[in-house]
Amino acid sequence: MLSLKRPRRTAALASVGTALAGLLVGTLSATASHAQDQSACRPDGLYTTPGVDVPYCSVYDTAGREKMGADHQRRVIGYFTGWRTGKDGTPAYLAPDVPWDKVTHLNYAFAHVGQDDRISVGADGPDNPATGMTWPGTAGAEMDPALPYKGHFNLLNKFKKQHPDVKSLISVGGWAETGGYIDENGRRVDSGGFYKTATNADGSVNQAGIDTFADSAVAFVKKYGFNGVDIDYEYPTSMKDAGNPKDWALANARRGGLNKGYAALLKTLREKLDRAGAADGRHYLLSVAAPSSGYLLRGMETYQATKYLDYVNVMSYDLHGAWNEFVGPNAALYDDGKDAELAKWGVYTTAQYGGIGYLNGDWAYHYFRGALPPGRVNLGLPYYTRGWKNVTGGTDGLWGQAKTTACPAGSGLTTCGDGAVGIDNLWHDLDDQGKESPAGSNPMWHAKNLEKGVAGDYLTRYGFPAGTKLTGSYARRYDAGLTAPWLWNAEKRVFLSTEDEQSVKAKAQYVVDKGLGGTMIWELAGDYGWNAAKGQYEPGSTLTSAMYDAFKSAPAYGARRATTDLPTQALDIDVSLTDFPLGDSNYPISPKLRITNNSKTTIPGGSEFQFDYGNSAPGNAKDQSGWGLKVVRSDHTAANNIGGLKGDYNRVSLKLPSYQSLAPGATAVVDFVYYLPAATPSNWTVNVGGTTYALAGDLARGTTVVDPGGATPTPTPTATPTSTPTSTPTATPTGTPTATPTGGTCAAPAWDTATAYNGGATVSWKSHSWKAKWWTKGEEPGTTGEWGVWQDLGTC
């Protein structure tokens, strides 16, 4: 492991004395690391594997912030793709081309899930880009002979030795390889991928497949020198026909269970990486590429799996594209109240939506901010374009339309957007018939040449004839309200949504101002630099350098989830959301909110719970259970989100009904209703006997679990999973709560299905005491729901 973090020594230096000195230093370092309180470095809200002393301090400081080097206050995560090898004649993008001093993390795209449920990059051999390919004669691409593999993995590790602060992750999945993979002959293999590995045909969790994958992933990162795993599963949502059309037949049949499988996948990966990290003395990272679309997130059940992740990379792009006719920005930062697609569906006029437009990066950030500190969220930036031809209406094409029935073969669409082609579609994919898939997809360096009227000398390498001329001019336009540039060719009626230095600098400033962890780039090969000798733009690092410059002197990112002081004492209470309506039937969003008392203290009727949910959803949540749920504070109170959402949260209050206590081991259920997607509620408190406590299930930093109804309170390390709530607060509650009886022996007669019970009758059943609220016969206690006939009096 250490060899990846410093240059290799020559044989001449490896003397006995040097070896003994190194051994002594290593021993002292290991002892110091072992003595350190690792829980002090755990990020706010991050789940810890039970019984494992995770070496968080190898990656995080004592504020729970990632250590990335003196001049890297924020993350710059670049996706490095395996297919730009140059072997097909198009420009290569290799490890020597990476701006190593400007990035903090590299995600290698992609590995896939094989038919055996194991992680794979294909069979070894000289044609395998990841592990076997070489580039003789290419400066900087000489292989490191000390490594037992070649290819991109060899070069990435070679350069990591020179830049030891840069971390690398293996990214698994992607659009083309979530439900299958591309074999060495370029053919797709419909293996089922994540859909099959994580979820059985009946919708249940495929734990055996998950275990196989996770074990193989841990072995893979150790074998090839990666610092963690990035999961790009597109998409474990209950919304029908989401993701690659080639996966629909398999995925649609499993829709109801995809999110449960996804959560189990990430939990299992977290735990196996934690155990491996404890053995290796290093913390392994786990991240995801997460969708930003409100449509997809609506079917992802508040993304409860965020607690297993070091951070989330938000794909805050592909917000508009040629899959439909609405011409707009690929990656707008803000809503402007004019989005034609949102207008069609009544988002601006339907009262429950609060006028909030959700196809923008700011909304997507606030979705994840509801569950995470800002520093565990990274804003995605596209280094590629999307575009349409034959655009009508709009302002220089913006919010116009371009519709066609000539959709790509295999797209699953009968009508779609009229995507740009030819010289306006340099990075095009092929459809199922091997024809160009219209999308207006170009690296940003090509788009800059179009803007300057330059037909670059690389065009022949992409199949264009020598002497190809541009038709019309590509005028740059910029909308500051959206933070979105584009190119408009009035002669061809072509609209290309772009990024450039102005938009990237504005987004970098947004990251700094909001305290985000940083940015994620898809993909590094699209960045540009000016070649004065040739008079054209080529692959470079202009945009990445702009982000580095913005971040190097920025303040540290926001490591605290709560925006107000919360208690330092916590009760062992957990919260989960279940029973989400699925697919197109899930509006309004109405899950069951389950509060489970794992402590020895009975929570008396009338006790008040409070929590925050992100203001990606308006402050009009309600309950249908009679708990009197109300929003007591909204950080964003405007009638829309033009220019961005203000603040982060809506604060909610709800009270246990006066006649219902929450005994040890019991669960109370609330029918929770809200109207736009929001991530898992956080920053929970409960007031018992006049004292306010945090909830252990909230996984916050800096709390001590107490049990007023049981033993004397004792401090619990932050890393213990049942006792890891609230971000370092300053206020400590005072007063002593009154202990409430927690139930006794099962003295009541056992429930009998043939007996009629009047209101007030008590029975025992399955180690709980139950009280009938009204006359009942044949209704089994524990099956009638929280508002059914049987009231749970607690364990006995």
pLDDT exceeds 80 at position 270: yes
Mention every residue, 6+ apart, whose C-beta is less than 8 A from residue 540: 445, 527, 528, 529, 530
Please state which CATH class domain 756-795 belongs to. mainly beta
Q: How far apart are CA 417 and CA 436, in angstroms?
A: 15
Domains 569-723 and 756-795 share a fold: no
- Tell me the one-letter amino acid at 62: T
Burial class (CB in 10 A: 0-12, 13-18, 19+), 207: middle
Number of Cβ within 10 Å of residue 390's Cβ equals: 17
C-alpha distances out from residue 588 to 241, 349, 354, Å:
20, 16, 13
Looking at residue 730, its pLDDT comes to 33
DSSP 240-297: TT-S-GGGHHHHHHHHHHHHHHHHHHHHHHHHHHHHHHHHHTSPPEEEEEEE--HHHH
Please state which CATH class domain 569-723 belongs to. mainly beta
Q: Of the ranges 26-30, 113-117, 325-329, which one carries the lowest mean pLDDT score?
A: 26-30
* Contact yes or no for 377/517 (Cβ under 8 A): yes
Mention every residue, 6+ apart, whose C-beta is less than 8 A from residue 310: 43, 46, 59, 66, 228, 285, 286, 287, 376
Express each pLDDT in 489-522 by its tens digit. 999 999 999 999 999 999 999 999 999 999 999 9
**Tokens in use for 37?**
């309180």
Which whole number is the average pLDDT over 228-243?
A: 97
Classify the C-alpha dihedral 709-714-720-726 as positive or negative.
positive
User: Is beta strand 285-291 parallel, antiparallel or unpaired with respect to 228-232?
Assistant: parallel
Looking at residue 621, its pLDDT comes to 97
Mention every residue, 6+ apart, whose C-beta is less than 8 A from residue 534: 457
Which whole number is the average pLDDT over 569-589?
A: 93
Percentage with pLDDT > 90 across the chain: 83
pLDDT exceeds 80 at position 410: yes
Q: Quick one: pLDDT band at residue 786, thresholds 50, 70, 90?
A: low
pLDDT exceeds 70 at position 540: yes
Express each pLDDT in 661-688 by its tens digit. 999 999 999 999 999 999 999 999 999 9
Express each pLDDT in 132-149 by its tens digit. 999 999 999 999 999 999
Please give the backbone phi and psi of residue 603, each rounded to the nearest 5 degrees, phi first.
-90, 115
User: Is beta strand 518-522 parallel, antiparallel or unpaired with respect to 377-382?
Assistant: parallel
Residue linked to tokens 């679990």? 705
Express each pLDDT in 601-655 by its tens digit. 999 999 999 999 999 999 999 999 989 999 999 999 999 999 999 999 999 999 9
Q: How far apart are CA 771 and CA 790, in angstroms?
A: 6
Domain assignments of the chain as residue spans, ordered by start: 569-723, 756-795
Q: How far apart are CA 380 and CA 261, in angstroms?
A: 25
Looking at residue 30, its pLDDT comes to 41
